[in-house]
Amino acid sequence: MRISRPILSAALVLALAACGSGAKPAAESNEIKVGLLHSLSGTMAISEVTVRDAELLAIDEINKAGGVLGKKLVPVVEDGASDWPTFAEKATKLIRQDKVATVFGGWTSASRKAMLPVFERYKALLWYPVQYEGLESSPYIFYTGATTNQQIIPGLDYLKEEGKKKLFLVGSDYVFPRTANKIIKAYAAANGMEILGEEYTPLGHTEYSTLVNKVMQAKPDAVFNTLNGDSNVAFFKQLKSAGASAETMPVLSVSIAEEEVTGIGVDNIAGQPVAWNYYQTTDTPANEAFVTAYKAKYGQDKVTSDPMEAGYNAVYLWAEAVKKAGTTEVEAVKKAAPGISLDRPEGKVTIDGENQHLYKTARIGVIQPDGLIKEVWNSGEPIKPDPYLKGYAWASGLGTGQ
Amino acid sequence: MIRMLRRNLPFATVAVIALVAAPLLLEPFRLGLLAKYLCYAIVALGIGLVWGKGGMLTLGQGVFFGLGGYSMAMYLKLTEAGGGLPDFMVWSGVEHLPALWVPFANPVFALVMAVLGPMLIAVILGTLVFRQRVRGAYFAILTQALAAAMVILLVGQQGLTGGTNGMTNFFELFGQDLAEDSTQRLLYLAVAVVLGALYLATRQLVNSRYGRLLVAVRDGEDRVRFLGYDPALVKTVTFALSAGMAGLAGALFVPVVGIISPALLGVVPSLELVVAVAVGGRHVLAGAVLGAVVMGYAKTAFSEQFADGWLYLQGALFILVMTLAPKGVIGVMGRLRRARTT
């Protein structure tokens, strides 16, 4: 023991040191390393793996077309493990150890909030691909998903047009649903709508009979659903068995896309409306190519969804900014990015110079019996991103997060 | 004299490696990770004491770790807000700083609470539970329930605790910029010194009369009672000490890692720590410490090498160690030594 214990400890520390110093030298001159940081294990894996796959597809396509600045993109994949501190740790690793040019990653708001200080501290770039609750614009994050005025507010406009005046709010207990509902309540107050109830359940909750009872008794015209993950399975099942129908009381969801429909079971959710910026059925030439390429690479039974498309776009938008800047250097890329406009599967998107979000077209769709989503309404043109809702008089006081 | 030197040689070697070699050899990012493992090692040391020596299987050390972490995070958040409201309160719609938060603007109060808060809870819980002679699996289940309840509480009180997001975005600690590598190196040294000091103190404690009493309670609680001692008191004190260590570890962890969230203190992380202690070897304090470092390092290494399937490797490592070496890594080392001397 006298000898072996210190020797083992020494070996351990040396192993750590070797791992530290053994990092490969900065990218070979003909390669550019980019980080992909999503949950590949844990509760979020089911959603985030598909985004990672879409990003890998974009990298493949760009490499086949000659790469960026004549260099090949090399993805470095890390697992955020559905655990926010792990996201922060792996982001640090990608930036400091692998010295990647940029990172594409995250899904939950919590993971983004955990990564934000890391990217700001090391002045590195993050491309975040999911719709979120707004009230944020970090100078080191590009947001390629919708902010609230491109998803939630159009969703409310749609309900209003349909003559729905009494709403019930159901959500998971974390920052996105709570912020979303704050906005919904302000909108309702300004538009003569009534909120009959507001209920939250913990993430991963699966017992919804009490809540469904409350909803049924309140008799709202519509339900606004911000539940996330597997809770939706239980909620929609129990709602259906309580006799609710999509015609008399539609449940508008903002976190259910093609991928999740399969998990929930089409029978339980067909006919319900959802709000996004992209559907697999969106009719653009770029989307036809995207869907075909995705299925060819990952299997014919796979579906494409809004966050996947936003991740896929992020890679292309970054590549475009790098081409324009002539370098992968972060500040130069940031400077080159504003105004970049591409025809993507969801239609035209443009990077806003002020808040680094995208101009996006809002689309309301209805879930079809085949599991796909059919668009029933769209905003006609891309909406300017407004994360702090400065352009909405009724929202003043909400956006004090600055 | 020589015997004492020999006895402390392993400790001295490890201390030199940790305090001199590691900061010189490791890159700042790796050193930060090592600091994180050492924070977990402090918790593991407490588990080694309470479970290894005292036989009380606690599956809720994450609760104490979290209380320490949140105390520290509250202080850091208030410094950062500089008299205003912390960022997450603004987006949770809180308008005035809650009364609970006010005293945490004082760093001394925050640090003291990080240690005393968990100890107080452990004393209350211990007094209630050990007096009723709740032990074994019942005690384990109870502590695990505590961890689960704690997470629900933290997530539910978003305006007070930051909800599932927890708290992050800290800039400075006692006026030092946390982003600086030099600050991180100092933090690492602080964690290493605290761990070393606690290790020595705990070893001293275990070798004292109290330590023998603790082991006696583990091996025959009723006999100890018939001898006129109060096992409940011994157990409560031990449980409180381990809680205090976990709290201190949490307070150190937050500036090192830069985030605290309910995900760090629920049932799973609490179990992971117990697993780490088992892998290292629960019967020896050094085994607990070693286990936390080995498992922490294994988690990082596996997940970096095999982003898709690292959890399986982590599980396989645990099963392998437990089936081949039930006394943990430290037990294997002991066997090697005996093999050499015979």
For A361-389, write each residue's pLDDT tens digit: 999 999 999 999 999 999 999 999 999 99
The fold of the A28-146+287-359 domain, in CATH, is Rossmann fold (3.40.50)
Residues 6 or more apart from B50 whose CB is under 8 A from it? B56, B58, B238, B239, B241, B242
Structure confidence at residue B1 as a pLDDT band (50, 70, 90):
low
CB atoms within 10 A of CB B275: 19
Residue A11 above 80 pLDDT? Answer: no
Instruction: Find out whether A79 and B256 touch, Cβ atoms under 8 Å.
Output: no
Q: Which pLDDT does position A21 carry in this prediction?
A: 42
Which residues does chain A have within 8 Å of residue B330's beta carbon, measured at their own beta carbons?
A: 5
Q: Which two tokens stand for residue B138?
A: 């019942």
How far apart (Å, rounded) are the C-alpha atoms in residues B194 and B31? 16
Residue A18 above 50 pLDDT? Answer: no
> Region A211-232: what's the mean pLDDT?
92
Q: Which pLDDT does position A19 carry in this prediction?
A: 46
How far apart (Å, rounded) are the C-alpha atoms in residues B294 and A36? 27
Residues 6 or more apart from A123 whose CB is under 8 A from it? A140, A330, A331
Long-range Cβ pairs for the range A357-361 (8 Å, 24+): A357/A137, A357/A142, A357/A143, A357/A147, A357/A385, A357/A387, A358/A143, A358/A144, A358/A313, A358/A317, A358/A382, A358/A385, A359/A383, A359/A384, A359/A385, A360/A146, A360/A150, A360/A277, A360/A385, A361/A277
Of B165, B168, B294, the CB nearest to A174: B165
Which residues does chain B have within 8 Å of residue A77's beta carbon, measured at their own beta carbons?
A: 307-308
Higher pLDDT, B35 or B334: B35
For A170-197, write each residue's pLDDT tens digit: 998 888 898 899 899 999 999 999 999 9
A120 burial (CB, 10 Å; 0-12 / 13-18 / 19+) is middle
Of A12, A20, A79, the CB nearest to B30: A20
Q: Which pLDDT does position A400 carry in this prediction?
A: 52
Residue A402 above 50 pLDDT? Answer: no
Q: Which pLDDT does position B276 carry in this prediction?
A: 93
Residue A121 above 50 pLDDT? Answer: yes
For A273-316, write each residue's pLDDT tens digit: 999 999 999 999 999 999 999 999 999 999 999 999 999 999 99
Of B165, B258, B307, the CB nearest to A79: B307
A297/chain B closest Cα distance in angstroms? 18
CA B277 vs CA B48, B118, B289, B318: distances in Å: 7, 20, 7, 11
Q: Quick one: DSSP state of residue A360? A: B
Q: Quick one: DSSP state of residue A131? A: -
Question: Closest residue of B to A177, CA-based?
Answer: B92
> Region A208-216: what's the mean pLDDT?
93
Which residues does chain B have within 8 Å of residue A400's beta carbon, measured at their own beta carbons?
A: 90
Q: Which pLDDT does position A27 carry in this prediction?
A: 45
What residues pair up with A373 in beta bridges, in sequence order? A367
Q: What predicted TM-score, i.e. pTM, was given to this entire model? A: 0.88
Buried b / exposed e along A129-166 (16+ C-beta atoms within 10 A) = bbbbbbbbbbebbbbbbbbbbbbbbbbbbbbeebebeb
Residue B50 above 90 pLDDT? Answer: yes
Residue A17 above 50 pLDDT? Answer: no
CB atoms within 10 A of CB B287: 26
User: Cβ contact (<8 Å) for B14 and A6?
Assistant: yes
A241 burial (CB, 10 Å; 0-12 / 13-18 / 19+) is exposed
For A25-74, write each residue's pLDDT tens digit: 444 579 999 999 999 988 788 889 999 999 999 999 999 999 999 999 99
Question: Closest residue of B to A111, CA-based?
Answer: B165
C-alpha triplet B185, B190, B194: angle, nearest 5°: 150
Question: Closest residue of B to A121, CA-based?
Answer: B179
Torsional sign, CA A322, A326, A328, A334:
negative
Residue A20 above 50 pLDDT? Answer: no
> Region A92-121: what's the mean pLDDT?
94
For A252-284, write each residue's pLDDT tens digit: 999 999 988 988 889 999 999 999 999 999 999
Which residues does chain B have within 8 Å of residue A89's beta carbon, measured at their own beta carbons?
A: 33, 36, 257
Buried b / exposed e along B153-166 (16+ C-beta atoms within 10 A) = ebbeebbbbbbbbb
Closest by Cα among A100, A1, A86, A83 to A42: A83
What residues pair up with A167 in beta bridges, in sequence order? A195, A222
Instruction: Find out whether A280 and A291 touch, Cβ atoms under 8 Å.
Output: yes
- What ipTM did this prediction achieve? 0.87
Of B91, B304, B308, the CB nearest to A179: B91
Of A4, A16, A83, the CB nearest to B26: A16
For B145-180, write each residue's pLDDT tens digit: 999 999 989 988 888 898 888 899 888 888 778 778
> Region A12-36: what's the mean pLDDT?
61
Largest CA distance in chain B: 72
Place of tokens 């490592």: B317
Q: Which pLDDT does position A23 carry in this prediction?
A: 42
Q: Which pLDDT does position A290 carry in this prediction?
A: 97
**A310 SS3 class:** helix
CA A392 vs CA A136, A254, A353, A398, B173: distances in Å: 16, 21, 20, 10, 39
Q: Which pLDDT does position B81 carry in this prediction?
A: 84
Residue A14 above 70 pLDDT? Answer: no
> Region A204-208: what's the mean pLDDT?
85
User: Cβ contact (<8 Å) for A20 and B27?
Assistant: yes
C-alpha triplet A43, A49, A55: angle, nearest 5°: 145
A20/chain B closest Cα distance in angstroms? 6
Residues spanned by CATH 3.40.50.2300 within chain A? 28-146+287-359, 149-281+362-395
Residues 6 or more apart from B315 whose CB is under 8 A from it? none
For A147-175, write each residue's pLDDT tens digit: 999 999 999 999 999 999 999 999 988 88
B189/chain A closest Cα distance in angstroms? 15
Among A3, A7, A12, A16, the residue to mutate for chain B (most B Cβ within 10 A): A16
Q: Which pLDDT does position B2 carry in this prediction?
A: 67
Residue A339 above 80 pLDDT? Answer: yes
Torsional sign, CA B23, B26, B32, B33:
negative
Q: Which pLDDT does position A186 carry in this prediction?
A: 93
Q: Which pLDDT does position A16 carry in this prediction?
A: 47
Which residues does chain A have within 8 Å of residue B21's beta carbon, measured at their own beta carbons?
A: 13, 17
Instruction: Find out whether A361 and A346 touch, Cβ atoms under 8 Å.
Output: yes
Instruction: Find out whether A306 and A281 touch, Cβ atoms under 8 Å.
Output: no
- Mean of the per-residue pLDDT values for chain A? 90
Of A77, A113, A135, the CB nearest to B165: A113
> Region B105-126: what's the mean pLDDT?
95
Residue A213 above 80 pLDDT? Answer: yes
User: Cβ contact (<8 Å) for B259 and A41?
Assistant: no
Closest by Cα among A62, A94, A59, A101 to A77: A94
User: Cβ contact (<8 Å) for A116 and B168?
Assistant: yes
Instruction: Find out whether A200 and A177 touch, Cβ atoms under 8 Å.
Output: yes
User: Cβ contact (<8 Å) for A13 and B17?
Assistant: yes
Higher pLDDT, B262 or A44: B262
- Mean of the per-residue pLDDT values for chain B? 90
Buried b / exposed e along B48-86 (16+ C-beta atoms within 10 A) = bbbbbbbbbbbbbbbbbbbbbbbbbbbbbbbbebeeebb
Instruction: Find out whether A76 and A334 touch, Cβ atoms under 8 Å.
Output: no
The fold of the A149-281+362-395 domain, in CATH, is Rossmann fold (3.40.50)
Q: Which pLDDT does position B5 carry in this prediction?
A: 66
Q: Which pLDDT does position A271 carry in this prediction?
A: 94
A174/chain B closest Cα distance in angstroms? 6
For B2-37, write each residue's pLDDT tens digit: 676 677 788 888 888 888 888 888 888 999 999 999
